[in-house]
Every structure is written in C-alpha cells, then in structure tokens.
C-alpha cells in the first residue's frame, strides 16, 4: 500500500495560460500549413474523429463516417446525427453506423455568449434561463425590465440571486447616436433628439428650416450655448446661391449650379464655372487663375487659362497673381514661364536624339 498521494495540479494563472497558448501557436500554424498542402483524400484526426480532405481550395475536411453514410444513403437529414453502435470511432462498417434524431427537446440547454438558454417550445423557441426561473416564481416580467445576477455569476440560478431591475431609459437619459452625437430622451415611449438641438431649441425656439446647429470649436461634447451656432444648410439654398469655401491654401467662392447630383455636381468653384460658360470645358493639364490676384474679381478678362507646367514654374519662383497684384506683370511672368517650358522640351528632345 502506498502512502503517497498525487498532489492536485495547481490551476494556471491567466498569464501562464497566455504563455502556453503563445508557445502552441507556432506548432498549430505549422500543422495548418502542412494540412493545407495535403492532397484531396488525405486523412487526419480531429477531436478523436477521422476526417477526410474533400477539396483543396478552399481546404475543406469532413468526418469520414459522414461521407460513408452519405455515399450509401444520401445527405444526412437536418436535426439528425450519426453514431457508432459499438462506440468505436475507427469502425467504419456501414452496419456499425446508426442515424438518430438529434434535435434538442424541450428543456434542453445551450450556451449563448455568457448566458444559458433553455428550449421552451417547438420548433425552436429558446429563452434565457434566469428569465424562465423568474417567470415561474413571480409571473411575467414587465416591459422594460431585466433580470440580473446579484453576485455576477451567470450560472447561479438560485431565486435569491436573481433581481429584477428597470432597464428602460427614462426621460432625460443620454446615449451616443449617429456620427458620435449625443442624444437625449425627451418623451416616452422612445422619442430621442440630438442634445445640442434640444438645448438650442430650449433657449431660442424651433430651428428654422434649412438651418442646422454646429459646434463652433468642433467639440461635440461642449454644450455651452456660446459654442452652439445656427448655420445655413448649403443643400437648402436655391440655384445661383453663393458661399465662401476654404481650400487647402486659399478660399474660393462657390456657386450652386444644380439641385440634383452629389456635392461636386451641385456646387462649382465660381471662376471655373464662369470661364467654362464662356469658353467651354477646361482642357486637361490647364487651370484658370485670377490675373490681378483678386479672387472676387470675376470679370471675363481677369480669368486667364494657363497650363499647369507654367503654374509649376511660377510656383518654384514663388511668383503668383496674389504676390504680383498686377495683370501686366503676371503676363510677363507667364511669357517667361512659357519660354522656360519650351527650352526644357527642346533640351529633352536633343538629349534623346544623342
């Protein structure tokens, strides 16, 4: 008789478990790579069942006893499962395979996330187990209420551990809505408004049609009235309306040209639109600039079509209509840019000829 007893294994900490999983990952990846390269018809052991590779791309494996049964009797009916009569999972004789109905009966349990579900009716009606236990003891659960576990253990179904709480948000409750805006409940049963809209309307009255409330500093959590601004919605403006838009370097005037289409089709940069109305589409590789540098001077003779190559040369020399503020000087600079562009082209051609 031995007086030595086997010491119980010490449970692993989450850190130790993570280390073991990290060590197992390379081996698992190597096994997957090996199995991926195996030919169709290869076999492997998976959860103590023999599986057969049926397709290469994508790599698909099926239980061997399923394939043998289906080859003899056709597809396995839904809600049925194959069993080995003698319990030996390596005995693939057709006489050893037995098909049974495997649909869960009423009262069966299954795990859904961190909760346990119980089947209460056919064909497939399931309910949270804690709700079923509470209803059996106290009757129907009122709308907007939820059953909680007092100790946080979702497997402790003692009635004393279950607690019913009002889970419906009351008027004044807040939530994060679309586009990260904060919404506030203003009425029952389920009426919500953007919080910044509700605050502005409480101070100033209804928001006029065609306007919206914006945050002056861009912070969607700063609800001070000084930070809430009433602005016109561009899409509500009639055709022909103008607005000033800030670009990457400069500001431009845009004009609304159509009611339909996306923003690029409905709003055009005004000086480009005016030039195209007078001369047709802007050629590829060209742009339109203000000769005198004044972006509010939309006179026909002040809008000049210029190749992008010349713009690039003038940009290197830091010469723009804005810096010159003189149409004649800008025209001289343009001619210099044009000559420089021609010299470069000729030089490039001579270099290729050599």
Same domain (yes/no): 257, 348: yes
Q: Does any domain span residue 21? A: no
- 276 and 192 in a single domain? The answer is no
Domain end point (choices 186, 213, 232): 232
pLDDT in tens, the chain (354 residues): 333 333 444 455 544 555 455 556 677 778 888 888 889 999 998 888 999 999 887 778 999 999 999 999 999 888 788 989 998 999 999 999 998 877 788 888 888 888 999 999 887 889 999 999 999 999 999 887 889 999 989 999 999 999 988 777 888 888 888 888 999 988 887 789 999 999 999 999 999 888 899 998 989 999 999 999 998 887 777 888 888 877 666 788 888 888 877 777 788 889 889 999 999 999 998 888 888 878 888 888 888 888 887 777 676 666 666 666 667 777 777 777 777 777 777 777 666 655
Q: Tell me: do 274 and 330 sit in the same domain.
A: yes
Q: What is the pTM of this model?
A: 0.38
332 in any annotated domain: yes
Say if 195 falls within a structural domain.
yes
Same domain, 140 and 195: no
Domain coverage including residue 189: 174-232
**What are the distances in angstroms from CA 85 to CA 50, 91, 96, 97, 320?**
16, 9, 5, 6, 90
Q: Does residue 47 form part of some domain?
A: yes
Shared domain for 134 and 154, answered yes or no, is yes
Q: What is the 3-state secondary structure (H, E, C) of the chain?
A: CCCCCCCCCCCCCHHHHHHHHHHHHHHHHHHHHHHHCCCCCCEEEECCEEEEEEECCCCEEEEHHHHHHHHHHCCCCCCEEEEECCCCCCCCCHHHEEEEECCCCCCCEEEECCEEEEEEECCCEEEEHHHHHHHHHHCCCCCCEEEEECCCCCCCCCHHHEEEEECCCCCCCEEECHHHCEEEEEECCCEEEEHHHHHHHHHHCCCCCCEEEEECCCCCCCCCHHHEEEEECHHHCCCCCEEEEECCCCEEEEEECCCCCCHHHHEEEHHHHHHHHHHCCCCCCEEEEECCCCCCCCCHHHEEEEEHHHHHHHHHCCCCHHHHCCHHHHHHHHHHHHHHHHHHHHHHHHHHHC
Which of 185, 214, 232 is the endpoint of a domain?
Answer: 232
Q: Please indicate, yes or no, whether residues 114 and 162 belong to a single structural domain of this protein.
A: yes
Domain boundary among 122, 142, 166: 166
Same domain, 157 and 200: no
99 falls within a domain? no
Please tell me whether residues 265 and 286 are part of one structural domain: yes
The answer to whether residue 204 sits within a structural domain is: yes
Same domain, 267 and 346: yes
- Same domain assignment for residues 265 and 343: yes
């Amino acid at each position: 008789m031995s007086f030595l007893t086997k010491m119980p294994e010490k449970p692993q900490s989450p850190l130790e478990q993570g280390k073991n999983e990290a060590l197992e990952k390379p081996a698992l990846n190597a096994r997957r790579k090996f199995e991926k390269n195996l030919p169709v018809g290869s076999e492997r052991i998976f959860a103590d069942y023999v599986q057969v590779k049926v397709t290469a791309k994508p790599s698909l494996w099926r239980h061997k006893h399923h394939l043998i049964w289906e080859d003899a009797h056709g597809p396995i009916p839904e809600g049925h499962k194959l069993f080995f009569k003698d319990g030996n999972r390596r005995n693939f004789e057709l006489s050893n395979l037995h098909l049974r109905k495997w649909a869960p009966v009423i009262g069966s349990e299954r795990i859904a996330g961190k909760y346990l579900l119980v089947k209460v009716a056919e064909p497939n009606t399931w309910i949270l187990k804690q709700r079923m236990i509470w209803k059996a003891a106290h009757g129907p659960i009122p709308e907007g209420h939820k059953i909680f576990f007092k100790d946080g253990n979702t497997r402790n179904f003692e009635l004393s551990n279950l607690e019913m709480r009002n889970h419906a948000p009351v008027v004044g409750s807040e939530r994060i809505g679309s586009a990260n805006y904060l919404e506030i409940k203003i009425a029952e049963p389920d009426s919500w408004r953007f919080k910044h809209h509700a605050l502005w309307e409480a101070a100033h009255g209804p928001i006029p049609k065609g306007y919206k409330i914006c945050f002056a500093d861009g912070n969607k959590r700063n609800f001070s009235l000084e930070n809430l601004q009433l602005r016109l919605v561009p899409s509500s403006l009639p055709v022909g309306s103008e607005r000033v838009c800030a670009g990457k370097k400069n500001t431009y005037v845009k004009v609304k040209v159509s009611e339909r289409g996306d923003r690029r089709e409905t709003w055009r940069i005004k000086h480009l639109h005016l030039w195209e109305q007078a001369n047709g589409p802007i050629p590829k590789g060209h742009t339109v600039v203000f000769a005198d540098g004044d972006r509010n001077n939309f006179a026909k003779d002040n809008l000049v079509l210029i190749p992008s190559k010349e713009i690039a040369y003038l940009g290197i020399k830091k010469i723009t209509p804005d810096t010159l503020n003189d149409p004649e000087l800008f025209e001289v600079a343009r001619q210099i840019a044009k000559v420089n562009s021609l010299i470069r082209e000729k030089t490039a051609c001579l270099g290729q000829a050599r």
